[in-house]
Each structure stands twice: as C-alpha cells, then as structure tokens.
Amino acid sequence: MHPRTVVYLEHDGKLLLVDENGDGPKDCIMGRNLNEVVLRFPTPEEVEHLGVAWTAGRETDLRFGNETYTVLHGEPEIDWPEHWTWKDKVVSDNAVHPVAREAVYRSLHRLVSKVMIRNNKNEILMAKVERGFFKGYWGLPGGYMNHSEEPAEGCVRETQEELGILIELDNRKPVITQRSFFRDGVSFVSFTYCGRWNGSIDELKLKEGEIEAAAWFSLHDAIENAASEFDKLALESLQD
C-alpha cells in the first residue's frame, strides 16, 4: 500500500525516489512498462533514515478515486545529488507510482500571456468570458502560451483569436507574476504586456463560445472588475 504522506525533494532537476521498501535513491528507466509499481516518493521517516536534511515547504493534496495523498514539498539541504533520478525521466517510467508522476506534472509552470489594451483615453479593454474558471467575469485578453511561443507573441495571437483585432504592444516591460493554487499545487506564471488600440467595441469580432462581451473601462473600474489576481496586479502597475 502506498503511504498517505510522502516527501517531494527536488534539487536542480533531480528527484529523490525510493523503492517499495523505502530504500534509495533509485533511478527511473524511460520507457519501462511494468505491471507493478516499484518506485515512489519517500515518507518523512524514510528521508530521515536516508540521512537527507530538508526544509518543509508547501503541501499538495492528490486525489485518486476515494483516496487522498499528501505530498510535502521540501528543499533538500545537500549538494547536487548526482545519484538521484532526473525529474524529466519520471513521467515515462510506468514503474513510478501515479502519485509521484502527478506531483511532477503539477510542478510544471503553466505559462499565460495577457495584455492591457489602452486607447487614447487611457481606458482599458476587457472581455467577459463564457467558459473556464472565470466564467461570467471580466478579465484582460490573453491565455495559455503555445509551445515555443514568445510571451509577447502569445498575447497578440490570443487577442486576435478572442476579439478579432490586431494590436500593437508598447515598449513597456511586462508585469510578471507567479501564483500557485495551494492545495492543488498548480503553478501559473503570467506575462502581462501593454498594448494600444483605438477602435470601437462594434469593430470587435468576439470568439463564439468563449467571449460573451467586451467593454472599455476606466483604470479604476478595470481594477475593481478584474476577477483574476494576475489581472489586478498588472492593472495596478499602471497607477505608478
């Protein structure tokens, strides 16, 4: 039976894994296809037995069916652990327990690119979304970045897809923020740029099924109506 509480220790791309008896460190084998799980994260007691000092950080809850597992994320107080496994190998080894593979997956940053579009009146263009976590709320245009896409390209593409317009970005540096959903352990990094467009709302072509409405807001009202903490922080930077 897999322990209910385990420890996620990572150091420069290396992870500490043990076998079912708590012995380690163990290495992953990419492409291994076994019918049994033989590798997992260690328990706090097993980490102590291995002589690894660590500092506790956040906790993540992982649910598989009716079972909930707690993953304690920590910072190992050691030099680079040459004999630990590479983090990138975990996902492709079926001998690694799903708790470890899911925890590694959730540790990867989700990259988002957004834009604060202003007109000559310094009003902010915002959109009300029809789907997702912020359904029915106002936010800045933008979304997930494509693989190998520059952040500055992502928000321009997303704006064209969502609102049907091509914008120009200012030279101002983006507002970069990072937040995690604490118990789920999902981390987001947001790049929010400044852009210019002076058209009217009637010129927009809202993406069907995704954008319900769009409107110009004063900076104060944009901050008040923004549902996302990322959007609020970015908009507040314009007050400087």
CATH of the domain at 36: 3.90.79
Number of structural domains found in the chain: 2
Closest CA to 20 of 82, 77, 80, 99: 99
- Cα–Cα distance for residue pair 62/55, rounded to 1 Å: 21
The residue type at 229: E
Tell whether 74 and 115 lie within a shared domain: no
Cα 79 versus chain centre, distance: 28
Residues 115 and 227 in one domain: yes
Could you tell me the pTM of the whole model? 0.80
Q: Tokens 């799980």 label which residue?
A: 37
Structure confidence at residue 132 (pLDDT): 76
Closest CA to 37 of 9, 82, 6: 6
pLDDT under 70 in the chain at which residues? Answer: 182-183, 240
Residue 147: CATH number of its domain: 3.90.79.10
- What pLDDT sits at residue 161? 96
Query: In angstroms, rounded to a whole number, what is the distance separating the alpha carbons of residues 215 and 222?
Result: 10
Q: Would residue 97 be called left, alpha or beta, if left means φ above 0 and alpha means ψ between -120 and 50 degrees?
A: beta
- How far apart CA 82 and CA 124 sit, in angstroms, is 51
Local structure of 138: helix, strand or coil: strand
Q: Report, in angstroms and rounded to the nearest whole number, the Rg of the chain calculated over CA atoms.
A: 22
Give me the pLDDT at residue 56, please.
Answer: 93
Say if residue 134 is in the same domain as residue 221: yes
Nearest C-alpha neighbor of 50 from the set 13, 98, 17: 17
